[in-house]
Amino acid sequence: MRASTKKYIEYMEQQTLGNEGKPRKRRWVRWLIDIAIIMVVIFAARAWQQHGMLDGEATDFEYVALNGETIHLDNYRGQPVLLHFWASWCPMCELEQGSISAISKDWKVITVAFQSGGVDEVERYMERKEITGWTTIVDESGELAGKYGVRGVPASYVIDAEGSIRFREVGITSGWGLRIRLWLADLLVAD
């Protein structure tokens, strides 16, 4: 055999076997296993974060919003609603403000300022951040958050037209993700 042919065969074997001498097919299997492990860890972390959050029937409440309106969750029956807990001291909550404002133009949204000070402090914060159009409840003591099992913010509940919690999220989430959940909550009740 000629030297150039022998080098070519060695080169092709190395390309087929890779660095460790294993076929490339096994690399794909290993990558799939790695991806599966990562997904399991992500889902386990999400389940841990949501542990203790209210599920099933949404607890009704009566609070006066910053705009002076008395809010009863039961008054929102007949349509999906986003119940969103946030805090003025939470940097992740700030990242979601634009999404929540956009969603509130198309869907019913109740926001809860969790342990962010009294009415005056929350109003000043919302003015400074140019947040308008939100129906906001001030939960200075964390009482409402406690009823819903909220231990961290941002936290969101998507409640369907019949008052059942369809989705719950803790941590930052995308605006389109919340919109899809609201749409699904609307769709699931219609059936």
pLDDT tens over the chain, length 191 residues? 566 666 766 766 666 555 555 556 678 888 899 999 998 887 777 776 676 776 789 999 999 999 999 999 999 999 999 999 999 999 999 999 999 999 999 999 999 999 999 999 999 999 999 999 999 999 999 999 999 999 889 999 999 999 999 999 998 899 999 999 999 999 987 55
Cα 30 to the chain's mean position, in Å? 30
* Element holding 49 (H helix, E strand): helix 24-50
The closest of 9, 3, 184, 190 to 82, measured between CA atoms, is: 184
What pLDDT score does 14 carry? 66
Stated pTM of the model: 0.76
CB 82 within 8 A of CB 107: yes
Q: Please state the domain extents for the chain.
A: 3-50, 56-190
What pLDDT score does 3 carry? 67
Q: Tell me the C-alpha distance between 136 and 119, whole Å.
A: 10
DSSP 148: T
Pull the structure tokens for residue 178: 């919340």
Pull the structure tokens for residue 170: 């803790």
Statement: 56-190 belongs to CATH 3.30.70.640? no
Kindly provide the residue ranges of all beta strands, DSSP E only, lying in 50-184, ordered along the sequence.
56-57, 62-64, 70-72, 81-86, 108-114, 135-139, 155-159, 164-170
Q: Tell me the C-alpha distance between 166 and 184, whole Å.
A: 9
What pLDDT score does 20 carry? 54
What pLDDT score does 27 carry? 82
